Chains A and B, each alone.
Chain A
Amino acid sequence: MANQQWESLGGIITSNISSVCWSANRIDSFARGTDNALYHRWWNGNAWGGWESLGGIITSDPVAVSWGPNRLDIFAKGQDNAVWHRWWNGSHWGGWESLGGIITSNISAVCWGSNRIDLFARGTDNALYHRWWNGTAWGGWESLGGIITSDPKAVSWGSNRLDIFAKGQDGAVWHRWWNGSSWGGWESLGGIITSNISAVSWGANRIDLFARGTDNALYHRWWNGNAWGGWESLGGIITSDPEAVCWGSNRIDIFAKGQDGAVWHRWWTGSTWGGWESLGGFITSNISAVSWANNRLDLFVRGGDHAMYHKFWNGSHWGPGETLNLHIKILTPPTRFTINEMLDSMRQVYANAGIAVNLVSTETLNIATPALAVLNDIDTGSCTGGNPSAEQIALSAFRNNAGSSDVVVYVCRSVTWNSGSLNGCASFPANRPMAVIASYCSRYTLGHEVGHVLGLSHVNDNNRLMTGNGTDNITNPPPDLVQSEINTMLASTLTN
């Protein structure tokens, strides 16, 4: 199970969110406020700015695009049902300007090159309409005909290429495309869909479409450059429009709200589908997903309190969350599981608490040193919290530059307490948080003992990490952490 935490970015929003990245580590998000004005928050790489009001009275979801660094264009329907436009030119906001028209859907905006924007929306006659910015002036509106019954969705897989998708009267997906010189279509791509369409392209001449089917499952159809594949069912029961995003070639991540109100995630790795996985939350909007780098995802949703919430994938785990800095000091290498196996198991469990385990260092201690030779088989005395033995205190002297908020785990050949053998022990002297684990410990002893360091106690449940019945006896791996345990771990001064 992935980390279920979300970061509140505040505000009270009354629309779906549109997010866009104009460079690495830069995100701009837009939504309508309670006064129907457009509001903006942004991540500048270090901190969140906003909310700032960009004024106006908008009557649709806003849509934001960027055709270059430090450039933003935002479009929304106004009170007069025309399309309205604001833009950021790198130094100040322009607009609102009216782009006219009378539209009856949300707007789809796409850029296939620098200083190029194409807008699509449904008109009062239910046909698809198109307006474009060519770098110097607005063209259009031109009617592209058809009768569409959903928001249009435009995508571009190359310069001067446009593909537009919408649901038709028959519930099927219909397609028109611009090949650089003329419009093709409408062609029916079949299916019977019950949501708006999400369309993405991870490479030239590649398109992937996603929509909800009549059974509320997610469906996928794709263009591979020569032919359409699909529709394939990707299962699930989704209760929002799907949102697909690509952070690399042959990589797709799809998000949708589930029956439980949480965000659910499936992903294409290039060879197989992963998921569904729950990302938690209780959302009241569609999902806005963007990527500003390889293996990076940022999600924005409206929560039950109508604030905007954010969650991210940083390449190794879902945030927000906290980090635990861990150092491993090896007196005797483990015999049953490798350090990496134990660490992976710990990370899997801790990720569910929103805690990233950061292995700061791994060091092999020299047990030929007389002082360490006698600590390799450690006597932990009473092994009670706050009452470390003389040997644990002696071993804690070998932290070797680990910070006072870092946890050091020493792998000893054996661990013993007053009454017999142990797999590990987590009592430690003040300001030297540490645990000792035996070379023969279980796969989960590392995470279990660090759990004690963070303040957790034993439970009588073999499906939980903190079981007092032995982590060798866990019945349904990976073991769980319950919310009260997660709260304790997050409240620890050792997680930041």
Chain B
Amino acid sequence: MSHTKQELIKLIDLDEPDYETIVPQLTKDDIPLLAELAEDANPAIATKAISCLGFMNDVRAFAGVEKAAKSANPVYRIAASHALRNMTARPAAATLLEKLLDDDDIGVKKFALKTVEASRLSGLKEKVKQMQTKEANEHIRSLSKQVMEKL
């Protein structure tokens, strides 16, 4: 049985959510509301909804994360970049991550790189290789090098 919107907010809007405990309480019926919450004006709610969607192996959940990845708010794109590490089995995830690696925001770039690293996405090796030399921020260049070593 799906949760109400208020129940979902209460479930996910924690200071330090333990997603391993929260996600088993969710069902696929919760995905539409989670996707709605992923666009909530309050980033405390939206980012956690995006993180939850990342754990839901469902095309609608991926669509929710994809939408967050295109948000005007970099905090939502960061949450999406991180959430994708649990969705890399989907072919579209790599394409989405490649775009996030090109994001103007350094935080988005960093978390996209970390997702590539965590998921060993060798298909993005060339992109990461370019980042080793082209990125303006030395720390992103250094992180790119670290990721390359694992790909």
A residues neighboring B (CB under 8 Å): 335-336, 370-371, 373-374, 376-377, 379, 383, 413-414, 416-417, 419-425, 438-442, 445, 448-449, 458, 468-473
Choose among A420, A425, A439, A473 the residue that contacts B48 (Cβ–Cβ < 8 A).
A420
Q: Give the docked Cα–Cα distance between A458 and B18 (Å).
A: 12
Max count, chain A CB within 10 A of own CB: residue among B10, B15, B137, B143:
B15
Q: Which of B107, B111, B114, B138 has the most CB of A within 10 A?
A: B107
Known contacts A336-B42, A420-B83: A472-B13 contact under CB 8 Å: yes
Stretch at the interface among B74-82, B94-102, B122-130: B74-82
B44 touches A472 (CB 8 A): yes
7 A-B pairs, CB-CB below 8 angstroms?
A: A371-B139, A383-B16, A417-B16, A420-B50, A420-B51, A423-B15, A470-B15
Is the beta-carbon distance between A376 and B83 smaller than 8 angstroms?
no
Contact B82 A471 (CB under 8 A): no
Q: Which residue of B lies closest to A332 (CB)?
A: B75
Question: Does the CB pair A374–B43 fall under 8 Å?
Answer: no
A316 to B71: give the CA distance in the assembly, Å.
44
Contact check, B75 vs A414: say whether CB atoms are below 8 A apart: yes
Which A residue sits closest to B14, measured CB to CB? A470
- Enumerate the 10 nearest inter-chain pairs by beta-carbon distance, A residue then B residue, closest first: A420-B51, A377-B107, A421-B47, A440-B43, A470-B14, A423-B15, A419-B19, A374-B139, A440-B44, A421-B51
Chain B positions within 8 Å of A, measured between CB atoms, are 10, 13-20, 42-44, 47-48, 50-52, 54, 74-75, 78-79, 82-83, 106-107, 110-111, 114, 137-140, 143
Q: A414-B78, A473-B10 are in contact. List 12 more A-B contacts (CB 8 A).
A: A336-B42, A370-B137, A373-B137, A374-B107, A377-B107, A414-B75, A416-B79, A420-B48, A420-B50, A421-B51, A442-B15, A469-B10
Q: Is the beta-carbon distance between B14 and A423 smaller than 8 angstroms?
A: yes
Q: A419, B20: Cβ atoms under 8 Å?
A: yes
A-B contact count (CB 8 A): 107
**Residues in A neighbouring B48, C-beta threshold 8 A:** 420-421
Q: How far is the CA of A160 from the CA of B113 in the complex (A)?
A: 83
In the docked arrangement, what's the CA distance between A373 and B139, Å? 9
Q: Does A416 contact B82, Cβ atoms closer than 8 Å?
A: yes
**Which residues of A sit under 8 angstroms from B43, Cβ to Cβ?**
335, 414, 438-440
One of B10, B16, B79, B137 near A414 (C-beta < 8 A): B79
Q: B74 contacts which chain A residues (CB < 8 A)? A: 377, 413
| Nearest A-chain residue to B75, judged by Cβ | A414
Smallest beta-carbon distance A147→chain B, Å: 66
| Pick from B44, B50, B106: contact of A442, CB under 8 Å | B44
Which residues on B sit within 8 Å (CB–CB) of A413? Answer: 74-75, 107
Whether the Cβ atoms of A422 and B17 lie closer than 8 Å is yes
Residues of B within 8 A of A379 (CB): 110-111, 114
**Contact between B14 and A469 (Cβ–Cβ < 8 Å)?**
yes
Contacts of B16 in A (CB 8 A): 383, 417, 422-425, 458, 468
Whether the Cβ atoms of A441 and B15 lie closer than 8 Å is: yes
Q: Which of A371, A420, A440, A468 contacts B54 (CB 8 A)?
A: A420
The answer on a CB contact under 8 Å between A471 and B137 is no
Distance in Å: Cβ of A377 to nearest Cβ of chain B: 3
With a cutoff of 8 Å between Cβ atoms, the chain A residues found around residue B17 in the complex are: 420-422
The CA-CA distance from A52 to B52 in the complex, in Å, is: 68
Contacts of B137 in A (CB 8 A): 370, 373-374
Q: How far is it, in angstroms, between the C-alpha of A419 and the C-alpha of B51 when the chains are bound? A: 8
| Residues of chain B contacted by A420 (CB below 8 angstroms) | 17, 19, 47-48, 50-52, 54, 79, 82-83
B110 near A377 with CB under 8 A, answer yes
Bound: A464/B82 CA distance, A: 31
A472-B48 Cα distance, complex, nearest whole Å: 13
Contact of B44 among A336, A373, A458 (CB under 8 A): A336
Contacts of B78 in A (CB 8 A): 377, 414, 416
Q: Is the CB of B44 within 8 A of A438?
A: yes
